[in-house]
Structure 1
Amino acid sequence: MSQLQRPAPGTEIALEGAVNFRELGGYPAADGRTVKYGLLYRGGNLDALQSPADQRTLQSWHLRSILDLRSVGEYAQHPDPALPGAEYCRVCAMRMADGTEMDFSSTGIERLAEEKAAFEKAAGHPVHDYDWFSVLYRQMPFGNPAYHTLFTLLEQRRAPLLFHCTCGKDRTGIAAMLILLALGVSRENALADYMLTNTYRRAIIEKHLQGKSPEERRLLLSVEGVDEAMGAGSIDEILQRFDSYEAYFAQEFGLDAQRLEALRNFYLE
């Protein structure tokens, strides 16, 4: 792909069956390089890509790895189709307090309610769903087996790589921010990429927000789109616990200076 043909960073990939699929190529890193195009893709349910045109687009990425960040319940309802040449791996990126998968499928709703009730009991008072999820998001970058798998695949250079969840916005969005930060992209650009979900899902979001109160809109926006405070809270929690993002990547993923530079040398140009 020539420089003139390259889309702006964060440009949505045109698909007939889904929105909010894109890649991480083009974002500038602090050292003057940019993230390479054609290596790191993000999206939602792959079973939505049914049309011949969508299949051709998917195959044109020449994926070597697909990392599914959903629960087993979500996968059961919308299984990823096999893609020749791509190694498939599923590791849920949101966890209950006991470490089991947080299942956002219709069969997992009752368990989610129980988890929320246990959180409120520990807090000693009722907690708004928005505030509960804000806490969960701040915990996601730490001890997360899905993100450990993600960075293992990155270090193994199992790219082109597609990582996805159901809508490609939360679990996927935080994963994308972590990748960008590891590659030396600024917090501002990493968060801007996260927030693009609200651009690409605007029609879906507005449909669900019609006629809702401001309080209802705040919660529904985080359900159908993404909330900036939640996304920022997730990556800013890193700097509450560590002196720098580099210190976090060294402690959390074993990416010392040498390994981090090797990662950047492969994914930046």
Structure 2
Amino acid sequence: MNAHTRWITLDGAVNVRDLGGLPTADGRTTRRGRALRADNLQDLTVTDIRTLLDDYSLKNVIDLRSGAEVDLEGPGPLTRVPSVTIHHLSLFPEGGRHTDVAADTPKVDIDRVLPWQNRPDMGAENDRSIHHYLGYMRDRADSIVAALRVMARTDGSALVHCAAGKDRTGVVCALALEVAGVTREAVVTDYAQTGDRLEAILGRLRSSTTYAEDIDSRPADSHLPRADIMEKFLTRLDEQHGGALDWLAANGWTPEDTTALQARLLD
């Protein structure tokens, strides 16, 4: 890991970084090697896995992809590592729950998997990413709370990922950092940092038949994780729910959960 950027260099994933080293409002920093974020892990090499196990004590993977994505992409190499537990916590309604029966078939709704933004001059009301981010919270509060509990109450490191490691991963990581007391500026900066790897992320997605056709149909810069998207999302969360902690509390999160997450993530 580069101590200055927090990037973790792997051969089989390109958007991988440690959530350690971020400043909190009370002058502390987040602890390295406790929470990681990544794009799709399907292509991890043996060397990559050894890096995650040996250097980061990886114990838990929080997979935010839909059931359809998991079915289409097939089992990743970490599913064959006995010491790693995979937690499949989709942020979309799945077949048989929340009325989305279509999710039973192996079909990916790419607009939700990889939401793309309208141009900035089209106005905030047309920002599709914020709409989708709020949809994750509306539809799958259970998965979000469960993901944060894995991060709070397990040994070793927990790695959160989706397909690009941008939207679903971005929301879950932002909420975890908000609970930990990380400054809003640092939360937003971490979200936008995925843009540094956008070309490599899109290259990986193009290599998968699950995502390739739609990726090629849209301008590359429409996938940029702009800082103002996360700023507006968190502001909307503040305005509508009183912030991350109040929203979590309304969905079963407890003060004990907060204490546990902060103890895990903070120096």
With the length of structure 2 as denominator, give the TM-score of the two structures.
Answer: 0.74
Q: How does 1:203-218 map to 2 (within 5 A)?
A: 203=200, 217=219
Q: Percent identity?
A: 26
Tell me if structure 2 keeps the 8 A contact 1:154–1:263: yes
Tell me if structure 2 keeps the 8 A contact 1:95–1:102: no
Structure-2 change in CA distance of 1:249 and 1:239 (3 Å): same
Aligned partner letter, 2:59: R
Aligned partner letter, 2:22: Y
Q: Figure out how many residues of one structure are paired with residues of the other and give that number.
A: 233
Q: How does 1:31-110 map to 2 (within 5 A)?
A: 31-50=26-45, 52-60=46-54, 61-76=56-71, 77-81=73-77, 82-95=80-93, 98=98, 100=100, 107-109=106-108
Matches of 1:165 and 1:101, distance apart in 2: 22
Matches of 1:102 and 1:186, distance apart in 2: 40
Between 77-86 and 29-38, report the one with greater CA deviation. 77-86
Matches of 1:100 and 1:91, distance apart in 2: 16
Tell me if structure 1 keeps the 8 A contact 2:189–2:227: no
Q: Deviations over 1:178-204 (max 9, x none)?
A: 111110001111011000110022455
Structure 2, unmatched stretches of 5+, are 112-125, 207-217
Tell me if structure 1 keeps the 8 A contact 2:16–2:38: yes
Q: Deviations over 1:58-84 (max 9, x none)?
A: 222222211110011211214222223
Aligned partner letter, 2:48: D
- Following superposition, the deviation at residue 170 of structure 1 comes to 1.0
With the length of structure 1 as denominator, give the TM-score of the two structures.
Answer: 0.74
Structure-2 change in CA distance of 1:33 and 1:182 (3 Å): same
- Following superposition, the deviation at residue 175 of structure 1 comes to 1.0
Matches of 2:229 and 2:59, distance apart in 1: 31
- Following superposition, the deviation at residue 158 of structure 1 comes to 4.4
Q: Of 166, 180, 200, which residue of structure 2 is paired with 1:169?
A: 166
Q: Which has the larger radius of gyration?
A: 1
Q: Of 175, 181, 184, which residue of structure 1 is paired with 2:181?
A: 184
